[in-house]
Amino acid sequence: MTVLMTVLGIAIFAVGLLVSIAWHELGHLSTAKIFGIRVPQYMVGFGPTVWSRHRGETEYGIKAIPMGGYIRMIGMFPPGEDGKVTARSTSPFRSMIEDARSAAYEELQPGDEKRLFYTRKPWKRVIVMFAGPFMNLILAVAIFLTTLMTFGVNTQTTSVASVSDCVIQQSEKRDTCTAGDPAAPAKAAGLQAGDKIVAFNGRRADDWAALQKDIRSTVGPATITVVRAGQRIDLKADLIENKVARTDGSGKYVKDQYVTAGFLGFAPASGYVPQTFGQSADRMGEMMQAGVTSLVQLPSKVPDLWNAAFNGADRAQDSPMGVVGAARVSGEIFNLDLPATHILVIFLNLLAGFNLSLFLFNMLPLLPLDGGHIAGALWESLRRNLAKLFKRPDPGPFDVAKLMPVAYVVASVFICFTLLVMVADVVNPIKIT
């Protein structure tokens, strides 16, 4: 059953990956057609074509390797000095092997002179190139909003999972009581597993973070109001000082850091708590910020990745993870001993996170990524408007093809990094904790 569920998880992730890629390329395709650009091909995957069919002037197909996708647009670059125009691909990998000027010159058909990508105004080109990553962002937001507002966030609640028998300083890192340990205030007050704390000293306990703050700021007598078997009960406790784990601004524990604070002595139960639209928006903003930070920090992760892949070092939980690693995690998710709805939520969040990463990565202003073409169009718009403002001759279209040497370097670095991540994902994968 374990092997079957692992294969099922990997297969479902592969389908989600293909859908995400197809959705991305659909953004490019639809906007290109809206602006009258001829698109000869729309492909999901790379390598040999498994299936394809022509609809109008476009060939739609699926290729054997589900590691990306592309559309081909006529006239992605301006003509060179020889006057030739080529059909180019939105795929970083195909862009590396196509000549920037003449490889697909023969694909031009009568009438294509008015349907070339480079002849469209810069703002239209920006829309076409932005539409792909934006589709990934739309999908990520839609999935996150659905899971956050429908299922919620797995978080600690004000319900009691267990009650401590005695007072133990958390810095001691033990959970067995000794003869000299005093009884925990919660135990002495009669708190029981399954109780739901609804108030603390008369203050409503709506969430764990607020309740934890009230408990830690209290030393001495306190009234704890709980709901037990449908009845509201007031319990009297005498909180004491204890050395407990430090928390950050979001209520998460900081490893190996401790503070002296009020102590009651119970473990909160975890559960999915639905979020409001505002809470969901805030959480997605935090995800976006964390994604940008992770992207900026990618170069600094290379030494740790290398050590994890080739020197047997531990793989950090925040280590970059590729498609292979994400597929393995998906397989692990489907083996978790959790309700089916919880497994679905975790998987959907994984897929949404993947789409958010696609959006952020493709927006980097580097060729051959979408962001590089966007930067080229914006630069062209800037210099042509400046020329118009200062009554200078129109400099014409910006020749993005001149940046192809830079694109080759960027693509080579990206391929090397992808291979390093893939090796690490195979020999030393990130595991669910």
Indicate which residues carry an active-site annotation. Answer: 25
Rounded Cα–Cα distance for residues 129 and 331 (Å): 33
Residue 255: enclosing H or E segment and its boundaries? strand 253-263
Strand partners, 62: 44, 51
* Distance from the Cα of residue 28 to its chain's centroid: 21
**393/110 Cα distance (integer angstroms):** 30
Cβ atoms of residues 272 and 149 within 8 Å:
no
Cα 19 from Cα 103, distance rounded (Å): 30
Query: Which value, to the nearest 10 degrees, does the dihedral of the CA atoms of residues 92, 367, 373, 393 take?
Result: -140
Distance CA 401, CA 206 (A): 59
410 Cβ contact list (under 8 Å, min separation 6):
366, 367, 368, 369, 372
Tell me the C-alpha distance between 383 and 378, whole Å. 9
Q: Which tokens is 140 given? A: 């990520």
Q: Please list, residue by residue across 251-275, b when 16 or more beta carbons sit within 10 angstroms of its beta carbon and e when fewer do.
A: eeeeeeeeeebbbbbbebbeebbeb
CB hemisphere CA count around 304 (13 angstroms): 14
> Can you give 323-337 as a three-state secondary structure string?
HHHHHHHHHHHCCCC
Distance CA 63, CA 48 (A): 6
Distances (CA, A) of 170 to 86, 161, 220, 253, 332: 67, 18, 20, 12, 31
DSSP letter string, 36-47 = T----EEEEEEE
List, in sequence order, every beta strand (DSSP E) within 107-216: 153-163, 196-200, 203-204
